[in-house]
């Protein structure tokens, strides 16, 4: 890295890229970037060019001399990279629309990282990310891979478990949101509190202490019930039952709503799904993205527009930039990341990927040992991690029985004939991106299985 | 025991008692009983007398001189007992009707040992069983406790964990059923197969080998899909998905249907619930029981009537007799029991109670080490055991937050406002039997909470 | 096996073979043997022929028609075998003499299965047994492998771990000895007691209950201190400290003397070593064996001679015959065996081989879950198992650093320069049987390392 | 703490106190101390006054207004303390002389924290420290306890396990020494390396990475064999075997020499023991201490004298000051501490105290998850921790059998009659400080057991 840092972003045509650029510009002093490569696929070429030009304008208006290279050739870009970030979406937003609408058409949660949709996002993404890892091993074996492609936990786990690549850190913006919102509830700043997170991606809990070492989690919980903060924009704000939170004396992440308030979350999603003026989250995001790209086309725009912050993933890219800078400058910043457990969560295996508070520096993420959970959280966590392991193995092997096991275990999918129907329809709907399941899909099609969900018609 | 064995049956007024007597008579040579005490409570006095006389008649028609004592005084009966069996039902069948109909009235599974009903059966039963354990410690400290009161797994676990009483074995008839039905599917007898069960009560799996040491589980699975045996009478016979069973290469117990085919099981239960001519299982059982007691009144009946076998719990009492005889005569019979894990299921803690194949002899149950499960079964099992631990602790402490946690974790209870409503209504409905929750119940009543489920009116 | 059982014994020229024959003849009714193959290597040809003829005479004087085939061609013999037993000794007794005398010449324990000698027996044996496993996979893939080649624990573990062969049971006669000697100490027969063994081969403990379920371990311990039974012939009879046994409330195996009374055991071994009229154990055994083979040459001897019982390994072969019969006839006999843990000893990994009470039947050995040990025994056991894992890996890879790690961990080898010297001398002394260490041995020889122990001269 | 920090040092009369003062003065800006209480017992009164005056002079010559209070009344001193440090030595150096010379007189390692001596230091110290904890609970329940009384690992573990006090951190200077010595071996500064320590006190290993994330442990090992640094002053400098270190790819702590090079360490200790001009370590320290106290008496000395650095425990007090400042100012400094495992070392139980790299801040020490060890280190560590647990329980209960178990397990004590003799003599020699063993000691004395080691005469 002596001649300056080379960063490669796979899925560079994403609307998030300007946030990433802003993060790098802000940290240039500690992270002296030389070149940035934005990589995308043919289907994303137009967006890549739009956002790529915008990115170059941002650097040009900064005091730093950084070139933004655009490429459709991943291997060319990866050569000698120092950091690779992944933010791609296999099948683009249309695939997400299917992940949402097909389950919802059968009355089940349809969501990007949870339930049937989350499982299929993993099925599409894991094989691609493993092929990227093979390229990294060959072309830039010293690089760190910073993954924020969802489902970030399973993807990171698969990179280590199946890709045998340990230099990876998975990121998520959810913990950042909690730490931004909660302190003021009890009249503190973040600097005045000590946060400890543990669990898995989109399924973690945290505890908080003050600077006298006193646990203030219970105090924050009390305040949350008069002041409804700390909830990511893309999660409906049904409150948790306070009796439950007081019993656990921890604060769950927003996504726990799907599991702790299934009834209300499903009702809300179905309402949006059934309202043609609203639509599911992916449909809303498509609209937001279209607007963002219109803005990006403005040749005078050379800074991250305000509107981007309203996109659900705010702070994602900032977390990525901070992680990269912490590794590069050995800053030992405390960040909540997906990384190999190593015992930090004793209720899971040492080689499982978990999402925990960690200190990030030159040696990567060093997770802080959290200790054992009480039975309720332990049981949930062990179920969810086991489900992830089934999903990952099915994603790698194309084993249908295992996919069905994952569906059956998933608490957001009521097991039975309809669940199997949804599994089969999603296989067919995503056929193009699921070569590992080709044989089963052919068998289903031969048996006359078709996508009945009303989303199929306009998306391929 | 030199002067003959003394057996005490708590809940002796049960309709199952004749099966128990039959089992003892059959095994008199290896288990020389001197006296049997049938104990029940005031509310069960009439049934106790009916079935008690019937029991004495059975012994009188046998070659053996055994006295059947009837008592409403548990402590008098327990004095110097060698074996204590528990088959009582706190709140009788009416309580079970509420466990079934209140959840079903809100569209959720209502069942004796699963879902909300199973949790409340544990809430009512555990405090009573712990008070029995205290009596045993004082009055018959050398006795073995053979529990077949449901939920047998949680009750047995609580006896060891909270009662600190290790001389207990929990029993269930479900494994017996599987072993009676499956061998013929592949043209074998039970003697020609080696069964290995592991899991927890009503949530276990088994594997089968033949005498050449070959795994024949897969072969049995294949046959199950042309011949639908091996399913206990009280479980609707929706088949499992064969792809799922082939993937796990184990056979789940019948109760797994609630978890692997939730949609169909719920639909079936709701259909029965809504049909006034059918009713829920408890209502059906009430009818069967009434008929049985009519039979028992016949002063000429001195053998177990055929009709008893049709009652769901067939083989329960036989399993109990075999267990007692195996302990007494150190027979080392292989029986599937609920007992302390000790590592037999490495995915759970060594001090958790599990249900496993064990050799039963003078030293009690010695579980056979089963080894680790694959992720899918492991995750399910860890979730369910953790839920049980929450239920037990709530049963002992009356902690409402923990009860809510158990409800939230339970896969048969969709979390949310309705679940909390069901929890609250069940608390009120079972108020009489839940002194540990008295404070919370008073609070709920003060807030105007009432049982809205249509079952409440005629059952108290 | 329809046409009768075929048994192959590798190391068939052993002086134990008549005991094996006696055991098979005794059990013919439940184990209908058709043919027995005794296999040995060229160096053992003479002994094989002597003992082979003797074996055939034993069968000829029985009512059964069984042919004893002698072969120097292992692969010819293994074809279609039903059971393979291993009782060979790589390097014969001369190698054992070196294992004993080289460490002793430096003032360290020199013993067949413990300390430096035990480690080297594993180094020589494991590669050979793994090559046998490869032959079994090819030539008799349905066979069970019954191993009583020492160190039986490590050899059995290596067969499963590195050979990937699960149909193996390791046997040892030590537990048999304890169960034969102890009951009478408290005026009981073995039938009146329940034994539970757990640990690893030559390093296990046991607890005993009576038929009322009471723990009588402490009572046996008390009696052991007035009546010194239960100690295998080849272990000097220094008693354990009674305070230690009472604290653990378990009975260690005889080999624990090396660890619990190191001072006295070493002194005793050095005394024998230094006395030219006594010599180390292997030297004594050589004498015994020579005498036995003289007896076997007698063409009129057609039964196991009394003298064989005085050889240290009495009951070994009987345990093997019982194990084979139990598998064949699915007898579910309780036998203490080396087998995969599967959780039976929760303090070790589920896939470690342990030595535990197990029920042996058609599905092999099913270990009884023993539960966790208290800290003292747990710590010892975890150390010893870890040491075994180092030894096995070094045996497979020839990794010198790992061999040194094993030496350093081994409680019977005081670490330091002398330990390293002993390691190096043993490598050179056993050069012929350690191809995996060839490179290191060459390096040592190039550096002038020679065997200084006075044993080397006459043994190659 | 609003009015300034109150620090109480139990064992304040120690010769280390000036180093502690220096550390506090240096950090005054981040740790605004108001008062310091030095507490000692009657026997240490003279030393307390000497070092206390010296301490006050050090503060008086600083810019800060801090009062140093001297007290023989622990409870008076503890009132409202913010931090309590423990550096006392039960029985003073004379007790340590016995811990060293009695075992050595029987040819065994005699050492402050290892072998028989270390066990007896724990026996004397743990009851005292637990009584201090009771005072803290009553008099200063918000205080942090910073323990550097040896054996620091067992003492810290006992505080949490038996004292039920979680606000404790145990400290040791050994890791500091390694981190000061090693970087220059490979031409780096400490800032350019990432250290990861794990194990237990005086029995840990570490790995090192550079700022590119590459493991450089092996490189350091190579350099250690041409440049012999990194070894604490009180450990003889026998090198480890390089083959062993390369195999483990970790660097052991200096105390591992006792275990990895037992032969040479013992020989060295015996040489010093037998040389009247040298004497054991405690005897050398007594001499050093006498000289230090002479210096301290100089009314003009107002700074830490150079000679103190030559005392073995250099950096101990500095580590303590840094720990206190890190807690107070939530600095999140990386420090190697003894703290509750919480999974950081998955090979030990989550509630065991371990010694690991941790981030220290307002919430105390947050250990960094290290991950599982390989078999060799795992086995050693599990043995040693189990031995510690036996020692602690024996220290609390006075159970002689458990003390004997600990002696038997300890790798530095060859088991047998002599070991038992040493145990018994040490019990008698330390009788005054071992009330928990009073009954056993009386029994030993009644049986005529006396201290034969030649040290006893002049030390009481």
- Domains in chain D: ranges and CATH: 1-460 (3.90.1820.10)
Residue C291 has a CB neighbour count (10 Å cut-off) of 14
- Are D and B touching by the rule of 3+ CB pairs within 8 Å? no
Determine the pLDDT at residue B237. Answer: 64
Instruction: Report whether the peptide linkage leading into residue C322 is cis, meaning its omega lies within 30 degrees of zero.
Output: no
Residues in chain C: 460
DSSP label of C240: P
The predicted-structure confidence for B300-355, as pLDDT tens digits, reads as follows 999 888 888 777 666 777 889 999 999 999 999 999 999 999 999 999 999 999 99
Helix then strand then coil, in percent of chain B rounded to 5, is: 50, 15, 35
Helix then strand then coil, in percent of chain C rounded to 5, is: 50, 15, 35
Determine the pLDDT at residue D371. Answer: 97
% of chain A surpassing 70 pLDDT: 94
Question: Going edge to edge, which strands form the sheet with D193-200?
Answer: D193-200, D203-210, D251-252
pTM of the predicted model as reported, rounded to 2 decimal places: 0.95
> Inter-chain contact A416–B263, Cβ cutoff 8 Å?
yes
Residue D263 has a CB neighbour count (10 Å cut-off) of 15
Q: Residue D212 is encoded by which pair of tokens? A: 């590119």
Is the pLDDT at A456 greater than 50? The verdict is no
> Inter-chain contact B362–C332, Cβ cutoff 8 Å?
no
Residue A288 has a CB neighbour count (10 Å cut-off) of 15
| Nearest Cα residue to A402 out of B243, D174, C100 | B243
> Inter-chain contact C196–B367, Cβ cutoff 8 Å?
no
Q: Which residues of C touch B368 (CB under 8 A)?
A: 359, 366-369
pLDDT band at D353 (very low <50, low <70, confident <90, very high): very high
Q: What is the mean pLDDT of each run of 10 residues along chain C (460 residues)?
A: 85 93 94 97 95 96 96 97 95 92 96 96 98 98 95 98 98 91 94 97 97 94 71 56 96 96 95 90 87 92 84 75 96 96 98 98 97 98 98 98 98 97 97 98 96 64
d(Cα A141, Cα A143) in Å, to the nearest integer? Answer: 6
The predicted-structure confidence for A85-130, as pLDDT tens digits, reads as follows 999 999 988 999 999 999 999 999 999 999 999 999 999 999 999 9
Residue C75 makes CB contacts below 8 A (sequence gap 6+) with: C135, C139
Binding-site residue numbers of D for substrate are: 96, 150
Secondary structure, 3-state, D89-142: CCCHHHHHHHHHHHHHHCCCCECCCCHHHHHHHHHHHHHHHHHHHHHHHHHCCC
> Inter-chain contact C379–D383, Cβ cutoff 8 Å?
yes
Interface B-C, measured as beta-carbon pairs within 8 A, has a size of 105
The catalytically annotated residue of C162, C255, C258, C273 is C255
> Inter-chain contact A379–B401, Cβ cutoff 8 Å?
no
Binding-site residue numbers of A are: 96, 150, 172, 202
Is the pLDDT at A195 greater than 60? The verdict is yes
> Inter-chain contact C343–B144, Cβ cutoff 8 Å?
no
> Inter-chain contact B386–A401, Cβ cutoff 8 Å?
no
Residue B270 makes CB contacts below 8 A (sequence gap 6+) with: B104, B107
Is the pLDDT at B235 greater than 50? The verdict is no
Are A166 and A160 spatial neighbours (Cβ–Cβ below 8 Å)? yes
Of C307 and B76, the one with more pLDDT: B76
The catalytically annotated residue of B16, B195, B255, B296 is B255
Asked if the ipTM is above 0.85, the reply is yes
Binding-site residue numbers of D for Mn(2+) are: 172, 202
Is the pLDDT at D26 greater than 90? The verdict is yes
DSSP label of B454: T
Binding-site residue numbers of C for substrate are: 96, 150
Lowest mean pLDDT, pick from C339-348, C382-391, D253-262, D288-297: D288-297
Is C255 catalytic? The answer is yes
Please tell me the distance in Å from D421's CA to the nearest CA on chain A.
Answer: 42
pLDDT band at A455 (very low <50, low <70, confident <90, very high): low
pLDDT band at D313 (very low <50, low <70, confident <90, very high): low
Residue D458 has a CB neighbour count (10 Å cut-off) of 8
Report the chain C residue with the minimal C-alpha distance to residue B142. C212
Probe site for chain D from A337, A369, A374, A381 (most D CB atoms < 10 A): A369
d(Cα C211, Cα C218) in Å, to the nearest integer? Answer: 15
DSSP secondary structure string for all residues of B259-299: HHSHHHHHHHHHHHHH-TTT--HHHHHHHHHHHHHHHHT-T
d(Cα C295, Cα C289) in Å, to the nearest integer? Answer: 10
The predicted-structure confidence for D176-190, as pLDDT tens digits, reads as follows 989 999 999 999 999
Are A104 and A273 spatial neighbours (Cβ–Cβ below 8 Å)? yes
Distances (CA, A) of B376 to A157, B29, C52, C448: 17, 46, 53, 58
Report the chain C residue with the minimal C-alpha distance to residue B196. C366
The predicted-structure confidence for B265-303, as pLDDT tens digits, reads as follows 999 999 999 998 888 888 888 888 899 999 999 999 998
Residues in chain A: 460
Q: Which residues of A touch D348 (CB under 8 A)?
A: none
Determine the pLDDT at residue C315. Answer: 76
Determine the pLDDT at residue C454. Answer: 62
> Inter-chain contact B390–A380, Cβ cutoff 8 Å?
no
Is the pLDDT at D226 greater than 80? The verdict is no
Distances (CA, A) of B33 to A324, B1, B301, B304, C258: 77, 9, 22, 19, 50
Instruction: Report whether the peptide linkage leading into residue A151 is cis, meaning its omega lies within 30 degrees of zero.
Output: yes
**D neighbours by CB contacts (3+ pairs under 8 Å):** A, C
Average pLDDT value over all residues in chain D: 93
Average pLDDT value over all residues in chain B: 93
What's the whole-number mean pLDDT along residues A349-359?
A: 98
> Inter-chain contact A344–D211, Cβ cutoff 8 Å?
no
- Identify the three-state secondary structure at position C305: coil
d(Cα A400, Cα A133) in Å, to the nearest integer? Answer: 25
Report the chain A residue with the minimal C-alpha distance to residue D345. A343
Residues of chain B contacting C, Cβ within 8 Å: 1, 142, 144, 167, 191, 194, 196, 209-213, 327, 330, 332, 334, 340-346, 350, 357, 359, 361-364, 366-372
Nearest CB among A389, A414, A420 relative to B375 is that of A389
Nearest CB among A330, A350, A364 relative to D371 is that of A350
Report the chain A residue with the minimal C-alpha distance to residue D334. A332
The predicted-structure confidence for A269-285, as pLDDT tens digits, reads as follows 999 999 988 888 888 88
Is the pLDDT at D229 greater than 70? The verdict is no
pLDDT band at D34 (very low <50, low <70, confident <90, very high): very high
d(Cα C172, Cα C312) in Å, to the nearest integer? Answer: 11
Determine the pLDDT at residue D233. Answer: 39
d(Cα B195, Cα D237) in Å, to the nearest integer? Answer: 60
Q: Which residues of B touch A380 (CB under 8 A)?
A: 383, 386, 409
Please tell me the distance in Å from C400's CA to the nearest CA on chain D.
Answer: 7
What's the whole-number mean pLDDT along residues B75-96?
A: 95
The catalytically annotated residue of D255, D296, D316, D400 is D255
Nearest CB among B1, B194, B341 relative to C362 is that of B194
- Strand-pair category, B144-147 with D333-340: unpaired
The predicted-structure confidence for A293-312, as pLDDT tens digits, reads as follows 999 999 999 988 888 877 76
Q: Which residues of B touch A417 (CB under 8 A)?
A: 261, 263-264
Are B242 and B225 spatial neighbours (Cβ–Cβ below 8 Å)? yes
> Inter-chain contact D213–A371, Cβ cutoff 8 Å?
no
Determine the pLDDT at residue D235. Answer: 46
d(Cα C214, Cα C217) in Å, to the nearest integer? Answer: 9
> Inter-chain contact C210–B342, Cβ cutoff 8 Å?
no
Residue carrying the six token digits 């009954």: D439
Instruction: For residue A71, give the H/E element and its range.
Output: strand A67-71
Are C63 and C31 spatial neighbours (Cβ–Cβ below 8 Å)? no
Q: Which residues of C touch B334 (CB under 8 A)?
A: 332, 359
> Inter-chain contact A368–D359, Cβ cutoff 8 Å?
yes
DSSP label of B349: -
Please tell me the distance in Å from D201's CA to the nearest CA on chain C.
Answer: 17
What's the whole-number mean pLDDT along residues B14-39?
A: 94
Average pLDDT value over all residues in chain A: 93
Are B31 and B329 spatial neighbours (Cβ–Cβ below 8 Å)? yes
Determine the pLDDT at residue D238. Answer: 66
Q: Residue C373 is encoded by which pair of tokens? A: 């040990």
| Nearest Cα residue to B250 out of B209, B192, B193 | B209
Secondary structure, 3-state, chain D: CCCCEEEEEECCCCCCHHHHHHHHHHCCCCCCEEEEEEECCHHHHHHHHHHHHHHHHHHHCCCCCCEEEEECCHHHHHCCCCEEEECCCCCHHHHHHHHHHHHHHCCCCECCCCHHHHHHHHHHHHHHHHHHHHHHHHHCCCCEEEECCCCHHHHHHHHHHCCCCCCEEECCCHHHHHHHHCHHHHCCCHHHEEEEEEEECCEEEEEEEECCCCECHHHHHHHHCCCCCCCCCCCCCCCCCHHHHHHHCCEECHHHHHHHCHHHHHHHHHHHHHCCCCCCHHHHHHHHHHHHHHHHCCCCCCCCCHHHHHCCCCCHHHHHHHHHHHHHCCCCEEEEEEEECCCCCCCCCCCCEEEEEEEEECCEEEEECCCCCCHHHHHHHHHHHHHHHHHHHHHHHCCHHHHHHHHHHCCCCCCCHHHHHHHHHHHHHCHHHCHHHHHHHHHHHHCCCCCCCCCHHHCC
Residues of chain A contacting D, Cβ within 8 Å: 1, 142, 144, 167, 194, 196, 209-213, 327, 330, 332, 334, 340-346, 350, 357, 359, 361-364, 366-372
> Inter-chain contact B259–A415, Cβ cutoff 8 Å?
yes
Is the pLDDT at D236 greater than 60? The verdict is no
The predicted-structure confidence for D40-85, as pLDDT tens digits, reads as follows 999 999 999 999 999 999 999 999 999 999 999 999 999 999 999 9
> How many alpha carbons fall within 13 Å on the CB side of residue A126?
32
d(Cα D203, Cα D355) in Å, to the nearest integer? Answer: 8
Is the pLDDT at D234 greater than 90? The verdict is no
Please tell me the distance in Å from D185's CA to the nearest CA on chain A.
Answer: 20
Residue carrying the six token digits 């007081």: A246
């Amino acid at each position: 890295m002596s001649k300056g840092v080379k960063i490669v972003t796979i899925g560079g045509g994403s609307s998030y890229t300007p946030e990433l650029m802003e993060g790098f510009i802000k940290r240039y002093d500690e992270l002296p970037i030389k070149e940035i490569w934005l990589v995308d696929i043919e289907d994303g070429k137009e967006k890549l060019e739009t956002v790529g030009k915008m990115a170059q304008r941002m650097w040009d208006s900064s005091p730093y001399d950084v070139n933004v290279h655009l490429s459709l050739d991943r291997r060319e870009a990866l050569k000698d990279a120092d950091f690779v970030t992944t933010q791609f979406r296999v099948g683009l937003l249309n695939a997400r629309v299917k992940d949402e609408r097909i389950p919802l058409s059968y009355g089940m949660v349809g969501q990007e990282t949870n339930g049937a949709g989350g499982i299929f996002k993993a099925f599409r993404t894991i094989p691609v990310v493993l092929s990227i890892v093979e390229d990294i091993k060959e072309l830039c074996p010293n690089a760190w891979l910073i993954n924020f492609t969802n489902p970030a936990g399973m993807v990171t786990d698969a990179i280590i478990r199946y890709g045998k690549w340990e230099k990876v850190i998975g990121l998520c913006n959810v913990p950042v949101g909690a730490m931004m919102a909660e302190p003021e509830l009890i009249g503190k700043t973040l600097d005045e509190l000590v946060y400890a997170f543990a669990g898995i991606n989109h399924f973690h809990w945290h505890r908080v202490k003050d600077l006298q070492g006193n646990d203030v989690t219970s105090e924050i919980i009390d305040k949350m019930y008069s002041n409804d903060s700390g909830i990511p924009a893309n999660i409906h704000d049904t409150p948790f039952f306070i009796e439950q939170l007081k019993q656990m004396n921890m604060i769950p992440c927003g996504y726990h709503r799907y599991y702790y308030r299934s009834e209300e979350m499903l009702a809300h999603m179905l309402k949006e799904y059934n309202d043609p003026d609203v639509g599911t989250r992916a449909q809303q995001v498509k609209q937001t993205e279209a607007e963002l790209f219109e803005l990006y086309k403005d040749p005078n725009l050379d800074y991250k527009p305000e509107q981007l912050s309203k996109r659900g993933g705010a702070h994602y890219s900032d977390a990525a930039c901070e992680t990269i800078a912490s590794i590069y400058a050995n800053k030992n910043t405390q960040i909540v990341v997906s990384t190999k457990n190593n015992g930090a969560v004793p209720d899971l295996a040492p080689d499982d990927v978990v999402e925990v508070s960690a200190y990030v520096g030159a040696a990567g993420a060093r997770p802080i040992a959290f200790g054992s959970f009480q039975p309720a959280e332990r049981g949930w966590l062990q179920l969810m991690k086991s489900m992830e392991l089934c999903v990952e193995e099915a994603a790698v092997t194309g084993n249908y029985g295992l996919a069905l096991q994952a569906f059956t275990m998933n608490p957001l999918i009521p097991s039975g004939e309809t669940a199997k129907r949804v599994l089969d329809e999603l296989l067919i709907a995503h056929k193009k991106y699921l070569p590992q399941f080709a044989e089963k899909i052919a068998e289903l099609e031969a048996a006359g299985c078709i996508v009945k969900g009303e989303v199929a018609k306009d998306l391929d």
